[in-house]
Amino acid sequence: MVLVLVIGDIHVPHRAHDLPPQFKKLLVPGKIGHILSTGNLCSREIYDSLKGLASDLHVVRGDFDENPNFPETKVVTLGNLKIGLIHGHQVVPWGDRESLKIIQRQLDVDVLVSGNTHKFEAFEFENRLFVNPGSATAYSGITFDVNPSFVLMDIQGDTVIIYIYQLKGTDLKVEKMSYQKKSQ
């Protein structure tokens, strides 16, 4: 049971003080194996706290990140899946399926994780999985209809079970979906 936390667009301290308390209660060290962060952590402290959650932390550079040394993209292999990581501000238009597909082909990954839209999305497009964990602190410059969210992926071989944690109001909602890589 390889647990991978996918989180991003936290924007601390610029747009929010901290992660929501309900999320902080869930995110305790010990259970999570890897963290894939889409970027825009924006501060060293958040980076350190994520590092404390799990030692295997992968961060890509977002447009507001203070640390210029994060890479633009990253490819990580977990289980039998190759997972690509990109912040998403490079993808124009933001969140567009076809553009994301181009990135996926370029990186040659089975799962593409991107962010920037601050809106959760997870879909399977042409046999590949695209995950957008949304924003963990839920600020959006586009719309008011945002909920803080993050994603937990349980990777077992070729299968991913995705748990989506969303904060609607003050209630934590957990949803689940799954994806299986089809061998071509």
Stretch that binds other proteins, among 27-35, 42-50, 67-75, 119-127 (CB under 8 A): 27-35
The backbone region for 133, taken as left when phi is positive above 0, alpha when psi lies in -120 to 50, beta otherwise, is alpha
User: Is there binding between residue 27 and other proteins (CB under 8 A)?
Assistant: yes
User: Is there binding between residue 163 and other proteins (CB under 8 A)?
Assistant: yes
Dist CA 41 CA 46 (whole Å): 6
Stretch that binds other proteins, among 20-28, 40-48, 62-70, 134-142 (CB under 8 A): 20-28
- Asked whether the beta carbons of 132 and 7 are under 8 A apart, the reply is no
Stretch that binds other proteins, among 77-85, 113-121, 133-141, 171-179 (CB under 8 A): 171-179
Bridge-based pairing state of the strands 128-132 and 111-113: parallel
Q: Residue 172 Cβ, how far from other proteins at the closest point, in Å?
A: 8
The nearer residue to other proteins, 7 or 91, going by C-beta atoms, is: 7
Dist CA 26 CA 15 (whole Å): 22
Dist CA 28 CA 21 (whole Å): 12
User: Is there binding between residue 152 and other proteins (CB under 8 A)?
Assistant: yes
Residue 41: DSSP 8-state: -
| Footprint of other proteins (CB under 8 A) | 1, 3, 26-28, 31-32, 152, 154, 163, 165, 173-176
